[in-house]
Amino acid sequence: MTTTNTTTPHGTSASFPVRLRSLTKHYSTGDRVVTALDDVTLDFAAGTMTAVMGPSGSGKSTLLHCAAGIDRPSAGEVLIDGTDLDGLDEDALTVLRRDRIGFVFQAFNLVSALTAAQNVELPLRLAGSRPSADEVHSALAAVGLADRHGHRPGELSGGQQQRVAIARAMIARPAVLFADEPTGALDSTASRVVLRLLRDLVDRRGQAVVMVTHDPAAAAYADRVLLLADGRLVDELPGAEGAEAIAARTAALVVRP
């Protein structure tokens, strides 16, 4: 395992829990090679929310999956809390993903037979530890669902299910929370609740959040909006510029035929 913990002009690994260095990912399908990510270098700071946008096929999910250790890059480095994922075998990678990385999916991915509380404690139970009832209660309270601990996913709205998924992702207090289209399946009211919750985790807990989204209104909650095209980082603007400015910049991206 390679550990980089030195201070650099960009700060320490603690203030930048995620660092990507020249990240490149090729997919081979038959005799065709697709370059999904092409030499992307980025740092994600603690206490910041980043939105990743770009046309369909621009590499957003690939970026998130490689950064979260779900997929292995073809070249380049992913450092989580200073640890180079490439130096980890599958077991060590699983442990690091469980302890340091939270991931939220568009489709919530809750276990339908389990209650909200059981879903939240599942990652820790799978790891062989048993969270206290207080821990589970405060994880659900943090997403405003303390009174729903006994409900199964089918008894909750989409927005509530996503909040349970966020509580589940946060219970191990990860260095970074990745979210792949977290509001993609929600109406605008439920989306706002989820986005405010993510924003709150950033502002009050110093959480790093990296979110893929197609929605300029969602991206406007972020501190920084990154625009990808053809696997490359092509533009960046502050979320504070607002949804209209973000929509205009994404519309201006040229997509390779």
Ligand X SMILES: Nc1ncnc2c1ncn2[C@@H]1O[C@H](COP(=O)(O)OP(=O)(O)OP(=O)(O)O)[C@@H](O)[C@H]1O
Specify the amino acid at residue 61.
S
User: E-strand spans in the chain?
Assistant: 18-29, 32-44, 49-53, 75-80, 83-84, 101-104, 176-180, 208-212, 224-229, 232-238
Residue 210 contacts ligand X per CB under 6 A: no
Among 57, 82, 144, 184, which residue sits at the site for ligand X (rule: CB under 6 A)? Answer: 57
Token pair belonging to 71: 């997929």
Q: How many residues bind ligand X (CB under 6 A)?
A: 12
Cβ 143 vs Cβ 166: under 8 Å: yes
CB-nearer residue toward ligand X: 149 or 224: 224
Residue 62 contacts ligand X per CB under 6 A: yes
Residue 73 contacts ligand X per CB under 6 A: no
Cβ 129 vs Cβ 106: under 8 Å: no
Binding region for ligand X (CB under 6 A) out of 8-16, 29-37, 105-113, 217-225: 29-37
Among 6, 56, 112, 132, which residue sits at the site for ligand X (rule: CB under 6 A)? Answer: 56
CA–CA distance, 144 with 40 (Å, rounded to integer): 37
Token pair belonging to 82: 């200073």
Determine the 3-state secondary structure of 69 from DSSP: coil
Binding region for ligand X (CB under 6 A) out of 56-64, 75-83, 111-119, 163-171: 56-64
Strand order in the sheet with 75-80: 32-44, 18-29, 75-80, 83-84
Residue 23 contacts ligand X per CB under 6 A: no
- Please state, as a whole number, how many other Cβ atoms lie within 10 Å of the Cβ of residue 190: 18
Among 4, 15, 24, 61, which residue sits at the site for ligand X (rule: CB under 6 A)? Answer: 61
CB-nearer residue toward ligand X: 36 or 88: 36
Residue 6 contacts ligand X per CB under 6 A: no
Specify the amino acid at residue 35.
T
Binding region for ligand X (CB under 6 A) out of 54-62, 108-116, 194-202, 203-211: 54-62
Residue 256 contacts ligand X per CB under 6 A: no
Least distance to ligand X, CB of residue 138, Å: 33
Token pair belonging to 63: 């970026």
CB-nearer residue toward ligand X: 61 or 118: 61
Instruction: Give the relative orientation of helices 158-170 and 188-205 as an angle to the nearest 10 degrees.
Output: 20
Least distance to ligand X, CB of residue 25, Å: 8
Binding region for ligand X (CB under 6 A) out of 27-35, 94-102, 106-114, 184-192: 27-35
Among the listed residues 199, 254, 256, 246, the one whose alpha carbon sits nearest the alpha carbon of residue 226: 246
Residue 196 CA: distances (Å) to CA of 178, 199, 255: 15, 5, 31
Residue 54 contacts ligand X per CB under 6 A: yes
CB-nearer residue toward ligand X: 60 or 148: 60
Among 58, 106, 119, 161, which residue sits at the site for ligand X (rule: CB under 6 A)? Answer: 58
Chain positions contacting ligand X, by CB under 6 A: 27, 29, 34, 36, 54, 56-62
